[in-house]
Amino acid sequence: MQQYIVQKGDTLTRIAARFGLAEEQLLIANPWAARQPYLHRGQMLYLPASLRRRYVIQQGDSLESIAETFRFSKEALKELNPGLSDQGLREGKVIVLPSSDVSHTITLAGEYGPAQLVQDMERLSTLYPFIEWSEIGTSVLGKAIYAAKIGKGDRHLHINAALHANEWITAPCLLRFAEDYARSLHEGSGLYGHNTGAWYSEYTLWLVPMANPDGVELVQEGAGPEHPLHEQLLVWNGGRQDFRRWKANVNGVDLGDQFPAYWEEEVKRRGRQEPAPQDYGGPSPLSEPEAQALYQHTLAISPVRAISLHSQGREIYWNYRDAEPPESEAWATRLGQAGGYRPVKLTGSDAGYKDWFIQHFRRPGFTIEIGYGVNPLPLEDFEDLCVETGAILAAFMALE
């Protein structure tokens, strides 16, 4: 068996995807890994033989020609064959081939975290230079919070995702929609029956795919001894080393309860007075840099309507204390029909992004709870979630 030394950011699902294995194969070869919630840097894994394709180098081959022939990236080829370069392509040498690229750039190869977001930003920028990326703020630990801009219209739209840490699957779902939109523009084709060229001319769409990068990374990789808030996070998590149910940022503040819309009422309702995995609204509204970044960005672009993507429940929340405009309910019904989701008139909830947006701007704002199950939603749901989310977001773009 091949041996592998765990690196920072590795998880069982990411390693399995990289080497063409099922996660169950890794657990059979390394039964100890099932007894701990996370891998730690320096641990050794045994990699069972995979069914990956092999290729014998032919005369005249190059990394570029092999990648193009078998439809994958040069980077994926080099990752599976460390040290491989054009100079090292000796005729007769046997190399391992990655899986051929699927039709989308945005895919899942294990959990989707801040590092995967940066990689996909670069890929999308190369394919579609008209997608403009900017940094709208930083997290508690200094990670960039990015926004994508598509379009040149006078009216602005906003969609954010991954505000709650264990709802990270909303981030790649949002980026898949961005990719489909950009490809439709590039090819001059439609999307879910809509004319995307008209969207591009009429609207400027802003996407914030990962509003809580520290929290997402914590859910996926844990808080080992090297984490700067290791001891404090363990205390806030009740001594548990498993952070997969964590919703808050790394300060233990629930960013879904951080916005200045009857914040005091929400704090009383939640009853949390100190940092926790969820439901602690913080010492004051907008105390956290992630919430502040979304707040300032939204004020700066003044969207005509907005969405905050969450999971789970397959529901759409559209109202807030009777401050929503009259078209909001009918529009929520249209969004629900597009994705098969249920519009819900929500009461007894304050301090969310959607709540503040409706209260401040008196414009339509929606919370979309994608998928159904227990967060984090399973990776195998991703493609179905992309279809549901894409249909809803396309309907959102087309609202009039």
The three-state DSSP-derived secondary structure of 238-307 is CCCCCCCCCCCCCCCCCHHHCCCCCHHHHHHHHCCCCCCCCCCCCCCCCCCHHHHHHHHHHHHHCCCEEE
Average pLDDT over residues 343-353: 97
Same fold, 1-51 and 53-97: yes
In whole angstroms, give the CA distance from residue 244 to residue 218.
8
pLDDT in tens, 183-196: 999 999 989 999 99
CA proximity to 174, closest of 209, 226, 220: 209
Average pLDDT over residues 30-51: 89
What is the per-residue pLDDT for 86? 87
What is the per-residue pLDDT for 367? 98
In whole angstroms, give the CA distance from residue 61 to residue 225.
46
Worst-scoring range by mean pLDDT, 48-57, 357-366, 378-387, 391-400? 48-57
Are 332 and 316 within 8 A, CB to CB?
yes
What is the per-residue pLDDT for 101? 55
CA 146-190-310 angle, 5° bins = 40
What is the per-residue pLDDT for 289? 98
Q: Please identify, in words, the CATH class of the domain defined by 1-51.
A: alpha beta
pLDDT in tens, 157-170: 999 999 999 999 99
Strands (DSSP E) found in 42-179? 44-47, 53-56, 94-97, 132-138, 144-151, 155-160
Give the confidence band of 81 by pLDDT, cuts at 50, 70, 90: confident
Strands (DSSP E) found in 101-143? 132-138
What is the per-residue pLDDT for 53? 65
Average pLDDT over residues 15-44: 89
Burial code (b: 16+ CB inside 10 Å, e: under 16) for 62-76 equals ebeebbeebebeeeb
Residues of the chain with pLDDT > 90, as a percent, come to 80
328-339 vs 382-397: helix crossing angle, rounded to 10? 140
CA 260-266-267 angle, 5° bins = 100
CA proximity to 297, closest of 145, 129, 171, 154: 145
Question: Domain boundaries in the chain?
Answer: 1-51, 53-97, 114-214+287-397
Average pLDDT over residues 235-244: 97
CA proximity to 222, closest of 8, 4, 28, 2: 8
Looking at 3.10.450.50, 3.10.350.10, 3.30.479.30, 3.20.20.70, the CATH number of the domain 53-97 comes to 3.10.350.10
State the DSSP H helix or E strand holding residue 25, giving kind and residue range, or none if neither.
Answer: helix 23-29
In whole angstroms, give the CA distance from residue 177 to residue 120.
13
CA 67-132-74 angle, 5° bins = 10
Are 340 and 329 within 8 A, CB to CB?
no
114-127 vs 213-221: helix crossing angle, rounded to 10? 120
pTM comes to 0.85
| CATH assignment, 114-214+287-397 | 3.40.630.10
Q: Is pLDDT above 60 for 121?
A: yes
What is the per-residue pLDDT for 20? 74
Q: Is pLDDT above 70 for 150?
A: yes
pLDDT in tens, 293-326: 999 999 999 999 999 999 999 999 999 999 999 9
Q: What is the mean pLDDT of the chain?
A: 94
Higher pLDDT pick, 39 / 56: 39
Phi and psi for 307 in degrees, rounded to 5?
-135, 140
Q: Is pLDDT above 70 for 71?
A: no
What is the per-residue pLDDT for 258? 98
Average pLDDT over residues 12-31: 87
What is the per-residue pLDDT for 50? 63
CA proximity to 84, closest of 73, 99, 95: 95
| Phi and psi based region of residue 351 (left: phi greater than 0; alpha: psi -120 to 50; beta: remaining) | left
Q: Is pLDDT above 90 for 95?
A: no
Question: Catalytic annotation on 187?
Answer: no
170-187 vs 114-127: helix crossing angle, rounded to 10? 0
Question: Residues 217, 315, 369, 388: which is the catalytic one?
Answer: 369
Cα 106 to chain center, whole Å? 10
Phi and psi for 137 in degrees, rounded to 5?
170, -175
